[in-house]
Amino acid sequence: MASAAESVPPFTPLRLVTESSFDPVVGTMLVLSGGLYLWGVHRLRLRGDQWSTGRTVAWLAGGLGSIAVVTLGGVAAYEDTLFSLHMVQHMVLSMVAPVFLALGAPVTLALRALPHRAAARRVLLATLHSRAVRLLTFPLIPFLIFVASPFALYFTGWYAATLSNPWLHEAMHLHFLLVGCLFFWPVVGLDPIPGTVSNPMRMLILAATLPLHAILGLTIMNQSTLTAAEHYLALNLVWSDPVSEQRVGGGLLWASGDLVGLLMLGVAAYQWMRASEREAVREDRRLDRLEALRAGETGVSERSERTNGHSPARYDPAP
C-alpha cells in the first residue's frame, strides 16, 4: 500500500478532475444500470405512456452519476491516502446516491415496462413479496443497520482491513450503497415496496439520525488514537498529516450528515404536503360522486311519483 500511495502526487482540488481510478467492474455495472433504465423508459414511450423526466435525471445523473464521481474519479484515486476523501466517498455512497436512486423509482418503471407474463417481472414481484425483503425493510431494521454500520466500521478493525484487502474494500463500498438504499428507499422513495411508513414516521426516522451522525463525527474528530494508524503512518507523506486528515474527515461526517439529513427532512415534508393535497383531491371527488348520486336518486324518485299520478307536496300559503 505504501508504494502505491507514493505514486500518488500531492493532492490539489484540480486532482479531482485530472486523476482517475477506473474500475471496469464498477463501470460496467453503472453502464448496465443506466442502459436498462433507459430501455424501460423507451418501452413505455413506444406504447404511448409517459415517464417523468425528473425521475430519469435523478437515476442517471444524481444516482449513477454520483457513484461514478466517487468510485471512478479523483476521489477514488485518493481515498486510500486521505481520510477526508474517504469520508466524502462514504457519505456520497451511503446518503446521496441512494436518495437519488430511490427518487428514480426503478421498481415502478420495471413493473410498468416489463410484459405481464415476463419471467423477470414474476421474479421481481416474488422478491418484493418475499419474507426476507419484508424483514429487511421493516423500519427498525434499516435504521439500526444504517446507524450502527459507521460505528462498527471506524471503531473496530474493519476499516483498517479494507485498506489492505481490495475485495473487502469493494465490499465496503457495496455495503455503504446497499445500506443507504435500504434506509432511504422506504423513507423518501416512490416505489411500492414493503417497509413504506407513514409520513409522520418518515419525519421521525430522519430526525432521529441527525444527532447520531453528529456524535459519530465529533467522536472521530476528538479521539486520541489514529484510525488505521499503521496504514496512514506507513505512507509517510510529507504533504499530508494523518491526524489533521482524521479531524477533517470527522468534521465532514458531522456537517454533511446533518446537512443531508435536513435536506431529507425537507423532501419528506414536501412529499407529505403533496400526499395531503392528493388525498384532499380524492376526498373532494368522492364527495362530488356521493352528491351526484344523491341528486340522481332524488330525481328518479320525483319522476316516479309523477308517473304514478302523485306530485310532491307543495306549500300553499292561501288556504
Q: What is the CA radius of gyration of the chain?
A: 28
* Percent with pLDDT over 90 in the chain: 53
Q: Which three cell numbers stand for residue 285?
A: 371527488
Task: Name which of 217, 227, 205 is nearest 255 in CA terms.
Answer: 217
Query: What is the DSSP annotation of 8-70?
Result: SPPP-TTHHHH-----HHHHHHHHHHHHHHHHHHHHHHHTT----HHHHHIIIIIIIIHHHHH
Query: What is the DSSP annotation of 66-108?
Result: HHHHHHHSHHHHHTTT-HHHHHHHHHIIIIIHHHHHHHT-HHH
Q: Which three cell numbers stand for residue 208?
A: 432521529
| 48 CB-contact burial (10 Å; exposed 0-12 / middle 13-18 / buried 19+) | exposed
Which amino acid is located at 291 in the chain? E
- Triad 144, 95, 53: Cα angle to 5°: 130
Q: What is the pLDDT of residues 12-53, one digit of tens each?
A: 888 888 888 888 999 999 999 999 999 999 999 999 999 999
CA trace torsion 133, 136, 138, 143 (10° rounding): -150
Maximum average pLDDT range among 90-104, 204-218, 302-316: 90-104
Helices (H), 114-165: 119-128, 131-136, 140-154, 158-162
Which amino acid is located at 263 in the chain? L
Q: Which three cell numbers stand for residue 304?
A: 316516479
| 247 CB-contact burial (10 Å; exposed 0-12 / middle 13-18 / buried 19+) | middle
Task: Name which of 125, 128, 273 is nearest 186 in CA terms.
Answer: 128
pLDDT of residue 319: 42
Q: Which three cell numbers stand for residue 43?
A: 418501452
Q: What is the pLDDT of residues 253-301, one digit of tens each?
A: 998 888 888 888 888 888 788 878 877 888 778 888 888 888 876 765 6
69 close to 75: Cβ distance less than 8 angstroms:
yes
pLDDT of residue 302: 59
Residue 312 has pLDDT above 50, yes or no: no
Q: What is the pLDDT of residues 84-129, one digit of tens each?
A: 999 999 999 999 999 999 999 999 999 999 998 889 999 999 999 9
Ordered by start, the domain boundaries in the chain are 2-298
Which amino acid is located at 25 in the chain? V
| 138 CB-contact burial (10 Å; exposed 0-12 / middle 13-18 / buried 19+) | middle
Q: Which three cell numbers stand for residue 293?
A: 348520486
CA distance 275 to 156: 42
Which amino acid is located at 241 in the chain? D
The pTM of the whole model exceeds 0.75:
yes
What contacts 85, CB < 8 A, 6 or more positions away? 11, 75, 78, 79
CA distance 279 to 108: 21
CA distance 10 to 246: 17
